[in-house]
Chain A
Amino acid sequence: MARSKRTAEPINAGSMADIAFLLLIFFLVTTTMDVDSGLLRKLPPPLDPEAPKPPPIKERNVFTVLVNRNDQLLVEGEIGSLKTLRAKAKEFVLNPYNKANLSAKKDPAIIELIGTYAVSKGVVSLQNDRGTSYDMYISVQNELVAAYREIRDDLAMQTFGKKYKLLNKVRAKAVRKAIPMMISEAEPRNISS
């Protein structure tokens, strides 16, 4: 006689958790969560020895930052520090009082979405010694990038009421056009300390 009720034996799922744990621990161990982030920069193209020399930039339009082998700063011929560098760079690029020793401006031109704007001719020139520590170099770079970022933020705030980072592509491009990031790294050479 066949049994009237055939009970299927339930599969014991208790070990499922163990298996899942095993896999989980494997992935936990192999996971590296580091998102690679950093300062994105563009190197100048290689020098063409045959190319004509570019016209020299006027002294007032160059903001020189020198870092020596003892990680000391020389900003525009004066001993400077990381703390004041950002403010000085900003003042140099913007030149709000049109001082004669700070950067000149190009003739005001119309930039789409922004209106007439006099683009600064200023170039920040960074020079370091072979003995400068990488840590210091990054700190200086960071301050200079921060200076430009703050200037862009200011302009973006004025015209669009938003920070530069939050602008859409077209607007961000307009801001970039008004405030191009001009950080040049001079050809390496040894600066005597």
Chain B
Amino acid sequence: MSKFRKKDKGGTPEISTASLPDIVFMLLFFFMVTTVMREVSLKVVVQQPFATEVKKLEKKSLVSYIYIGPPIKGLVSTYGTEPRIQLNDAFATVADLGEFIIAEREARSEKEVPFMTTSLKIDKTVKMGIVTDVKQELRELNALKVNYSTKKGTDITTE
């Protein structure tokens, strides 16, 4: 019965890995395209509150960021737990806002200035006092478009 001889190798044939690089490259390109490099290292903890009526911020190049929150763990010993304002890479006070906004404006062309938005990334535990100060300062500076950065969704803790 040589016609029905068993194959000499009974194991499963090896899977070709030749397409593996292609698959990996595909993933690679996806991540390369979607990557946004982190621009600042955060020195404050910002846990954003939740909201349902959120809008996506468009034109990222026209957005300047202000961070407010308690300092991160490593800095608590030096700066305490009181909420602080962070502009670019450093702690700042309300008085520094003017300089910051003007610098941001100068980095853009004059035409784009009216469309500039200030995104306020504020920790949810922060009291409104400091936020109000920032808002008043922004008003004085005529930087009127603001975005209260929030996450989409509903918070369970709000009654």
Contact = CB atoms under 8 A, between A and B. Distances in A.
Interface string A19-36: 011011001101111011
Contacts of A40: 55, 57, 117, 145-147
Interface residues of B, number: 59
Contact of B24 (A17, A31, A134): A17
Contacts of B17: 14, 17
Given A28-B31, A31-B35, A138-B150, A45 B124 contact: no
A135 interface: yes
Contacts of B115: none
A10 to B, nearest CB: 11
Interface residues of A, number: 48
B32 A27 contact: yes
Nearest to B17: A17
A30 B37 contact: yes
Contacts of A141: 51, 148
B123 A134 contact: yes
Interface in B1-50: 17-18, 20-21, 24-25, 27-28, 31-32, 34-38, 48-50
14 contacts: A27-B31, A32-B35, A38-B120, A38-B147, A38-B149, A39-B54, A40-B146, A46-B142, A130-B128, A133-B126, A134-B126, A138-B50, A188-B132, A188-B136
Interface of B: 17-18, 20-21, 24-25, 27-28, 31-32, 34-38, 48-57, 60, 63, 117, 119-120, 122-129, 131-132, 135-136, 138-140, 142-152, 155, 158-159
